[in-house]
């Protein structure tokens, strides 16, 4: 039986299409042992959180068995929002977050994106969290990784020297960590 993985894409006009290359890299590197699911989330501009946490929870609730959860960029930050603010009843083997923005500030448009104070204490217990960020990320500053590392001291942090926001569309490092579970 294949191991399950769900990948939550980043935002932007072509976020789903751009992240398809990341998913292809995961599928190739993980091989036949894994089934990688890649749902396309829709953006509801009338909602401060774009409706993504609800859509992510729906995807997680539909999983038949224990699974791995991977997210890129806005998808990664919304995974943390969903896991810390909603009840997830399914077993998660590990959470892998790539280039996650850490939302801060008082601007109205950020309020639905921000994590609640103390979010780390409300994440599922005994689920390993891995954080990845490239030093030359042109979209999300590298300092966001440092913020997450402080807030999630038990997370495994992987600093990548070069690769930009998309890690050169090579997720072999993440695949190796997934296989290590």
pLDDT value, residue 108: 85
Contacts of 155-159 with CB under 8 Å at 24 or more apart are: 155/128, 155/129, 155/130, 155/131, 156/128, 156/129, 156/130, 156/131, 157/130, 157/131, 158/130, 158/131, 158/132, 158/133, 159/133, 159/135
pLDDT value, residue 136: 98
pLDDT value, residue 143: 97
Q: Residue 20: in which H helix or E strand, if any?
A: helix 15-30
pLDDT value, residue 112: 87
- Residue labelled with tokens 């960020």: 133
- Residue labelled with tokens 């009840």: 87
pLDDT value, residue 50: 92
pLDDT tens track of the chain, all 181 residues? Answer: 899 999 999 997 789 999 999 999 999 999 999 999 999 999 888 898 899 999 999 999 999 899 999 999 999 999 999 999 998 888 999 999 999 999 998 888 888 899 999 999 999 999 999 999 999 999 999 999 999 999 999 999 999 999 999 999 999 999 999 999 9
CATH architecture of the domain formed by 3-179:
3-Layer(aba) Sandwich (3.40)
Q: Which strands make up the sheet holding 67-72, listed edge to edge?
A: 34-37, 3-8, 67-72, 92-98, 129-134, 156-160
Distance CA 116, CA 103 (A): 10
pLDDT value, residue 161: 96
pLDDT value, residue 12: 75
DSSP 124-169: PTT--EEEEEETT-SSS-THHHHHHHHH-TTSEEEEESS-TTTGGG
Domain ranges for the chain, please list them.
3-179
Model pTM? 0.95
């Amino acid at each position: 039986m294949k191991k399950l993985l769900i990948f939550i894409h980043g935002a932007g006009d072509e976020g789903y299409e751009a992240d398809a290359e990341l998913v292809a890299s995961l599928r190739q590197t993980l091989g036949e042992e894994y089934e990688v699911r890649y749902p396309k989330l829709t953006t509801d501009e009338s909602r401060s959180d774009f409706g993504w946490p609800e859509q992510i929870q729906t995807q997680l609730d539909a999983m038949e068995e224990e699974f791995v959860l991977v997210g890129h960029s806005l998808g990664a930050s919304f995974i943390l929002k969903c896991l810390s603010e909603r009840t997830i009843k399914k077993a998660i083997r590990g959470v892998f977050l790539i280039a996650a923005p850490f939302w801060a500030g008082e601007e109205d448009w950020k309020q639905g994106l921000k994590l609640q104070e103390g979010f780390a204490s409300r994440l599922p217990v005994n689920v390993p969290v891995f954080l990845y960020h490239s030093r030359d990320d042109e979209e999300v500053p590298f300092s966001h990784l440092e913020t997450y590392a402080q807030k999630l001291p038990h997370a495994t942090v992987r600093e990548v020297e070069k690769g930009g926001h998309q890690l050169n569309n090579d997720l072999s490092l993440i695949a190796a960590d997934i296989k290590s579970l």
